[in-house]
C-alpha cells in the first residue's frame, strides 16, 4: 500500500510545482497574444544593416539553457531589402507570425515562426503606406484576427499620424487618423476589461530621418490619447513630458492606471483614474538621460527603464504609486535601448540600437540581465556580438521570445 504524503508535505509539493511553472504574464505584449507556455528557446532580434548597403535581417539566437548552442547565432533570415530601418515587431494573436515594421521604407514584413521556429520564413511584404495613407509604421499590436499598427507620420512623412488595421493575412481594413490638435503618434496599448486604449506621441518621419543635431526638438509630441477601444473613438487628451514613448497598462486586472517613459523629459509618467470616468497624468519619477524603453515585471511590482544617454537600466519599485523607489541599476554597456523580460520575470535581454540617426556607438550587441531579490545583475558570459557578420555590423533593435 502506498503511503500518503502528510498534508503539509503535499501543500509544499504543490507550491513548488506551481512556482516552477513558467509564468504566463509575459509582459509588454498585446493581451490578445497567446502566451508562451514554456521557458524560452529562441530569441528573435530585428536587425538593421549598419551601413545600409546590405539587406536587413531577422536574427535567431539560441537561448535554451539546456542547449549546447546556448547564446549562439542559429539562423539569419534575409528580409530581401535594405535601408528599411527595421524597428519594432509583434506577434499575431495566435503567435504563428511576426509582423515587423520599418521606419524608413514603410515596409511591413510578415514572418512565419510556427512552421519551424528555429528557421523563420518570410511569407509577405506589405507597403503599409500605400493603402493606409500613413508613414513610419512603428508598433504592430495584435487584435483578435487582426493587427493594429501605429504610425509616426501621415502623408509625405508629415502629420497627422494615425493607426491602421489589417487582417492577419495582410489585407488592409481601415485607417484611424489622429486629430489635428494631437497629431503625433508612437505606441499603442489596450486594456480590454476597461474597454480603453492609449496611444502616445513622438515625432514624424520628416524629423527623425535627420541626424539628431538637425532634428527640430520642438517638433515632438507631449500627449497621450485615451480611446474607447471598441468604438475606436478618442475620449480624452492627456498632457505629459516631451516625447512619451511606450504605453504600459498596469497588469493587474482591476487596475486603472498605466505608465509611459518621456524621452525628452528624462522621466516616467503615470496616467491614473482622475474621477468622473476621466484620467489624470503626473510625473512619477525622474530617470537617467533619455529613457528609451519601458518594461514591466510579471508581478506588476517593477518598471525597468533603459536610459540611452546615461548608459544604465533602472529598476523602479512602483508597488506604491505615491512612493516609487529606485530598487537597482545596472550598466550593460553603451546606449542600452530595447529590453525584453521573460515570463518568469527572472531574465531580461537587452539590445543597444535606437535609430541609425541617434546611435552614437558602432559596438552593437545583445546581452543578458538576471533579475533576483537583490536586483539586477549582468550575466558575464552571455554577450552576442552584432558586429561580426559577413555584411559587417548590424544594429539590433526589438526582440521577441519563442
Which of 205, 91, 189 shows the shortest CA–CA distance to 137?
205
Q: Is residue 386, in this structure, part of any structural domain at all?
A: yes
pLDDT at 46: 98
Peptide bond into 160 cis (omega under 30): yes
Q: How many domains does the chain have?
A: 1
Q: Is residue 293, in this structure, part of any structural domain at all?
A: yes
Residue 66 dihedral angles phi and psi, to the nearest 5°: -90, -5
Q: Is residue 82, in this structure, part of any structural domain at all?
A: yes
Q: Is residue 2, in this structure, part of any structural domain at all?
A: no
pLDDT at 18: 33
Q: Is residue 328, in this structure, part of any structural domain at all?
A: yes
Q: 327: domain CATH number?
A: 2.130.10.10
- CB-hemisphere CA count at 13 Å for 103? 27
pLDDT at 215: 97
- The answer to whether the beta carbons of residues 295 and 348 sit under 8 Å apart is yes
Full DSSP string of 338-372: -EEE-TTSSEEEEE--S-TTT---S--EEEEEEEE
Burial class (CB in 10 A: 0-12, 13-18, 19+), 336: buried
Task: Enumerate residues 6+ apart whose C-beta is below 8 A from 277.
Answer: none
Query: Domain span at residue 145?
Result: 23-401
How far CA 281 is from CA of 13, 195, 260, 272, 366, in Å, comes to: 45, 19, 10, 6, 34
pLDDT at 26: 87
pLDDT at 25: 67
Distance, CA of 152 to CA of 154 (rounded, Å): 7
Distance, CA of 94 to CA of 179 (rounded, Å): 32
Q: Is residue 159, in this structure, part of any structural domain at all?
A: yes
Full DSSP string of 281-294: EEEEEE-SSSEEEE
pLDDT at 4: 38
- CB-hemisphere CA count at 13 Å for 275? 0
pLDDT at 271: 98
How far CA 344 is from CA of 21, 191, 263, 373, in Å, comes to: 8, 22, 28, 13
Q: Is residue 5, in this structure, part of any structural domain at all?
A: no
Q: Is residue 259, in this structure, part of any structural domain at all?
A: yes
Judged by DSSP in three states, 173 sits in strand
Three cell numbers written together for 369: 540581465
Regions of the chain where pLDDT drops below 70: 1-25
pLDDT at 253: 81
Which residues, in sequence order, are bridge partners of residue 109? Answer: 100, 125
Q: What is the pTM of this model?
A: 0.93
Q: Please, what is the end-to-end C-alpha distance for the chain in angstroms?
A: 44
Amino acid at each position: 500500500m502506498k503511503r500518503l504524503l502528510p498534508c503539509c508535505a503535499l501543500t509544499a509539493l504543490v507550491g513548488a510545482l506551481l512556482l516552477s511553472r513558467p509564468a504566463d504574464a509575459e509582459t509588454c505584449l498585446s493581451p490578445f497574444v497567446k502566451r508562451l507556455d514554456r521557458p524560452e528557446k529562441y530569441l528573435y532580434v530585428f536587425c538593421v544593416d549598419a551601413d545600409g548597403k546590405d539587406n536587413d535581417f531577422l536574427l535567431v539566437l539560441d537561448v535554451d539553457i539546456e542547449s549546447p548552442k546556448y547564446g549562439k547565432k542559429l539562423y539569419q533570415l534575409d528580409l530581401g531589402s535594405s535601408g528599411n530601418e527595421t524597428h519594432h515587431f509583434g506577434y499575431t494573436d495566435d503567435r504563428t507570425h511576426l509582423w515587423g515594421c520599418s521606419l524608413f521604407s514603410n515596409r511591413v514584413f510578415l514572418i512565419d515562426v510556427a512552421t519551424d521556429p528555429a528557421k523563420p520564413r518570410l511569407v509577405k511584404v506589405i507597403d503599409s503606406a500605400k493603402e493606409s495613407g500613413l508613414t513610419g509604421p512603428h508598433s504592430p499590436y495584435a487584435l483578435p484576427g487582426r493587427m493594429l499598427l501605429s504610425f509616426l507620420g501621415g502623408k509625405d512623412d508629415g502629420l497627422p499620424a494615425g493607426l491602421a488595421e489589417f487582417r492577419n493575412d495582410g489585407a488592409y481594413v481601415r485607417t484611424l487618423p489622429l486629430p489635428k490638435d494631437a497629431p503625433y503618434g508612437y505606441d499603442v496599448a489596450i486594456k480590454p476589461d476597461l474597454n480603453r486604449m492609449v496611444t502616445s506621441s513622438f515625432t514624424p518621419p520628416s524629423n527623425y530621418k535627420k541626424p539628431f543635431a538637425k532634428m527640430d526638438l520642438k517638433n515632438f509630441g507631449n500627449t497621450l490619447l485615451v480611446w474607447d477601444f471598441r468604438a475606436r473613438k478618442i475620449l480624452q487628451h492627456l498632457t505629459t513630458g516631451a516625447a512619451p514613448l511606450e504605453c504600459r497598462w498596469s497588469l493587474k486586472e482591476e487596475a486603472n492606471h498605466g505608465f509611459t517613459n518621456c524621452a525628452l523629459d528624462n522621466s516616467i509618467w503615470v496616467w491614473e483614474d482622475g474621477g468622473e470616468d476621466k484620467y489624470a497624468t503626473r510625473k512619477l519619477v525622474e530617470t537617467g538621460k533619455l529613457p528609451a524603453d519601458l518594461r514591466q515585471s510579471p508581478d506588476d511590482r517593477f518598471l525597468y527603464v533603459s536610459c540611452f544617454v546615461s548608459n544604465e537600466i533602472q529598476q523602479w519599485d512602483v508597488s506604491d504609486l505615491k512612493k516609487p523607489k529606485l530598487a537597482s541599476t545596472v550598466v550593460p554597456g553603451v546606449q542600452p535601448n530595447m529590453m525584453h523580460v521573460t515570463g518568469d520575470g527572472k531574465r531580461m535581454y537587452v539590445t543597444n540600437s535606437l535609430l541609425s540617426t541617434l546611435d552614437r556607438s558602432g559596438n552593437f550587441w545583445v546581452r543578458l540581465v538576471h533579475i533576483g531579490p537583490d536586483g539586477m545583475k549582468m550575466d558575464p558570459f552571455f554577450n552576442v556580438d552584432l558586429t561580426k557578420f559577413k555584411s559587417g555590423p548590424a544594429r539590433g533593435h526589438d526582440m521577441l521570445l519563442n
